[in-house]
Structure 1
Amino acid sequence: MSNINISLPESMKAFIEEQVAQGGYGSVSEYLQELIVQDQKRKMQEHIEELLIAGLKSGEAIEVNDEWWQQKRTHLINHLHQHKCVSLDHSS
């Protein structure tokens, strides 16, 4: 594990120490690691939401029902079979 030294105003240091004591953290490092993990999760969630919005805006909506899923399965199975046949032809 690596170390990072940071400078904080006394008021922030006191706040962190209070959070450690009240939050059941074993150390300041544990508290700060938890904050970083939460920030990473928040940023990942924002990224996922951006991708979902982009997907919603990407084109005309289609109805996804049992028939659509069956067509998708059939297409993928056919694609896999074609890929295997091509791979087998090239291996000889």
Structure 2
Amino acid sequence: MATMNISLPDALKSVVDAQVGSGQYASASDYVRDLIRRDDENRRKRAEFDRLIQEGIDSGISDKTFEEIREEAFQRARANGAPD
């Protein structure tokens, strides 16, 4: 495992110490690793969300009415096990 040293202002160091002190994390390194993992996952989710938004924009405007689109969405949801 690689080693990295970071400098934190006192206020952020207190946050890290509080998280470790709470028992949720075994060490400051565990806490920082968790933050990095979460940030990476959030970035991937955001990229996928942005891709889906662009896909929707690129798909153009539907000829269907709002009611038709809504009913199709409900039918798909029910087919996938969503409650009525």
Alignment of 1:15-54 (within 5 A): 15-54=15-54
- What displacement does 1:27 show? 0.6
Structure 1 runs (4+) greater than 4 angstroms displaced: none
CA apart distance, 1:21: 1.6
The number of aligned residues is 64
Structure 2 counterpart of 1:80? none
The structure whose residues are more often helix, as a share, is 1
Structure 2: runs of 5 or more not aligned = 65-71, 73-84
Name the CA distance, whole Å, in 1 between partners of 2:63 and 2:34: 41
TM score, norm. by length of structure 2: 0.66
Task: Please name the residue that 2:13 is paired with.
Answer: 13
The AA in structure 2 aligned to 1:45 is K
Name whichever of 16-25 and 41-50 sits farther off.
16-25
Highest CA radius of gyration, 1 or 2? 1
Shift in alpha-carbon separation, 1:23–1:50, aligned structure 2, 3 A: farther
Structure 2 residue 58 is the aligned partner of structure 1 residue 58: yes
Which runs of 5 or more residues in structure 1 are unaligned? 66-92
The alignment's C-alpha RMSD in Å is 2.1
